[in-house]
Amino acid sequence: MGLVDNLKTSVSAAARVAQTSIVFARHAQFFTRVVSNPGAPETARELRRIFESLGATYIKLGQFIASAPGIFPDSYVTEMQALLDRTTPVDFADIEKVLAADLGKDYRQHFRSIEEIPLASASIAQVHAATLSTGESVVLKIQRPNIEAKMDADLGLMSFAARLLEILLPETKRVGVTDVIHELGRSMADETDFIQEAKNIADFQKFLDDTEETDVITPRVVKALSTKRVLTMSRLYGAPLTDLQVVRKYARDPRAVLEKALATWFQSLALVGFFHADVHAGNLMILEDGRIGFLDFGIVGRFSPKVFESLWMLVQGVGEKDYRMIARSLIGLDATGGGGQKVEEEKFAAELRSVFEQVNNFGKVVETAARRGERIEVDEGDLNQMILQIVGVARDNGLKIPREFALLIKQFLYFDRYAQILAPGMSVYSMGPEVQGTRGKARLLPK
């Protein structure tokens, strides 16, 4: 990087710090609320509004808080759910600047057309439909302009503020705010590197090829038109697994579709050691030809064999309604270093039973609606609330559950909801160990 580039970066960082200071000054009442009542819903709401005003990095921080129950107060985890979906698209004129910078000023020669209205918009990037010069339908995932420069300035300021907070209020070290900022930076670095996302897609596709799985596909990456900030992929046409009518239209047996999707996802855990960490309805589709499509590999999780063993024990425990087994699976994951030695297993199991019975009761409501033929949306807030309760019970019993495991549980809750829609009365927790094999299958059993 030359002198001019360094100067531009410094000026941009200084401007970002000034902008951040102005936004916080406009919300001066937030600091008053933090001192007087830090855990109040009104305080969390004010912080969420600040994050919305400051844009991508802070929205990502809010999303991180929303997905990290047990680290932050419940009021903040609940309030930040509002940041999971809401983002305003960037004007296409600004998006074109990114395309020109990364694909060349003559990038239009590679395309017959590019839709200016995005198919989807998120805090880091947005997706536009396009047609290649060859006639192939594709989607372009394009980062927002200058997102990395803003992110670096924001993370630097956050890191400084976190260290200052831990000096002024030593008790905040227990929460590990500095570690949270570090983890956020690592996560955002991955999400702003579309070369890495393309590799994640390739790794998952290799897993499908190695297991000779032809009924599940991923988008094909067009490498010649992909960079760190632009990802060009084949477009998959279909519908989310929550749309029962369309699933019935494209596949003869909705239950078999779910079993195939679950088996594929679970096998990737067992055989590859990583998993698609965001299998919400928009990222898991039934395609027009009856195959299943896994989309968006910006967020993947990786874990140790110990985590997988605990997950399998939890799955078995939920399937058998053995709450002591569920308790032991969570005790084995304790990230505090204490090994769960001081946990009263019987008390912990009883509290977990109460939580999982609520999960089951909510599932019955979804099943009833599915049997009536009603269209059902899987509510992100409901799932996060369930995660919040599970991790909260663990925390109250002196345990700290790793974030990766909370992400794993959330994906299972997604599949549990899909089961209530596509295979009412069946359980995603009743799989046999054969699902771990190279030709494994998930066979759902009655609850």
- Structure-token pair, residue 351: 């509290």
- Do 276 and 263 touch, CB atoms closer than 8 A? no
Question: CA triplet 198, 203, 207: central angle to 5 degrees?
Answer: 145
Helix axes 56-66, 147-168, angle to 10 degrees: 60
Alpha-carbon gap, residue 141 to 164, rounded angstroms: 37
CA-based Rg of the chain, rounded to a whole angstrom?
23
Is 396 considered catalytic here? no
Determine the Cα angle at 60 with ends 394 and 10, to 5°: 135
d(CA 230, CA 221): 11
Torsion angle of the four alpha carbons 436, 437, 438, 443, in this order, in degrees rounded to the nearest 10: -70
Helix count and strand count (H, E) for the chain: 16, 13
CA distance 182 to 27: 25
Classify 192 in phi/psi space as left (phi over 0), alpha (psi -120 to 50) or beta.
alpha
For residue 201, what are the CA distances in angstroms to 126, 265, 338?
18, 13, 37
What size, in residues, is the chain? Answer: 447
Q: How far is CA 220 from CA 44, 46, 232, 257, in A?
A: 41, 42, 8, 22
Query: Within 13 Å and on the Cβ side, how many CA atoms surround 16?
Result: 24
Closest by Cα among 219, 216, 214 to 234: 219
Alpha-carbon distances of 57 from 52, 118, 154, 192, rounded to whole Å: 10, 21, 7, 11
- 152, 154, 243, 278: the catalytic one is 278
User: Using CA atoms, how far apart are residues 35 and 300, in angstroms rounded to an integer?
Assistant: 37
Where is 197: in which H helix or E strand? helix 194-210
Would you name the residues annotated as active-site residues? 278
